[in-house]
Amino acid sequence: MSVPSDLYDSTWLSSAGTDINNYLYMAQDDSQPIFHGIQEEIARLNDFCLLCIDGTSKQLAELQRKVKQYRDGEERAVDPEFDDLSNEVAWALEEFDIPRWQETERFLVRAMCLILLSAFTEKSLKSLASYLAPAEAPCFKRKAGKTETGALVRYLQETCALNFEEPEPSQAIREKCRRLRNDFAHGRWDVLSASIADESLSTAFGAVTELFYAIDEASAIRG
């Protein structure tokens, strides 16, 4: 797949790749099937994001190819009434279609992938909290004024008795994604666009992976 370098670094791969431990979670605790479920789901999400980016990239490349063909005379846009409109069509592609797809690639696809990653993380933490909590423990309930994912992490630490610290990259990306989800939902897209302009999706996936590795290890030690 072809991927834009500003979205992914060189280690961003499909889940069929041979070296994905650096940013895609791989279950370590064989005794807990829930971790294998998380491994499969993050791989599917990764591949979906790659597919979206690759499709957008290919659409841009095709539009740019058409512009070149029209400009070089390799292809013509002929109208029965106005004759050859190749230059006009090339101009319209350059001024409208290509910038629109570039903005989709730069902002919308990136935002969508980060929002999906945030939702996946929250969903997975809820599943872990339910699965790992002692039978007598109260069910997870977020307190007013607390973020959902932060409260879930503390629930796993305190109620589920898992001895782990949330990695700093995970804290940073979940807070960024929390603001992103709020800005996206409330239409503050100008603010959102600026805040994620340089966000690497592979780095974001890697940060989430660090969190699940920490929980996985703590679960194995707890037994």
Q: Could you read off the pLDDT of 88-135 as tens digits, one per residue?
A: 999 999 999 999 999 998 889 889 999 999 999 999 999 999 999 999
Highest mean pLDDT among 8-12, 197-201, 202-206 belongs to 202-206
Q: Determine the pLDDT at residue 10.
A: 42
Amino acid at 31: S
Number of helices (H) and strands (E) in the chain: give both, helices first. Answer: 8, 2
Please, which pLDDT band fits residue 194 given cuts at 50, 70 and 90? confident
Provide the whole-model pTM.
0.86
Q: Tell me what pLDDT residue 222 has.
A: 82
Cα dist. 58→2, 63, 65, 67, 111 in Å? 8, 9, 10, 14, 19
Backbone angles phi and psi of 39, in degrees to 5: -60, -45
Two tokens, residue 105:
């690639």
3-class DSSP state for residue 78?
strand
Domain residue limits, the chain = 33-222
Q: What confidence score (pLDDT) does residue 121 get?
A: 96
To the nearest whole number, what is the mean pLDDT of the chain? 86
User: How far apart (Å, rounded) are the C-alpha atoms in residues 26 and 114?
Assistant: 20
Long-range contacts at 191-198 (CB < 8 A, ≥ 24 apart): 192/107, 192/111, 193/106, 193/107, 193/111, 196/107, 196/110, 196/111, 196/114, 197/106, 198/6
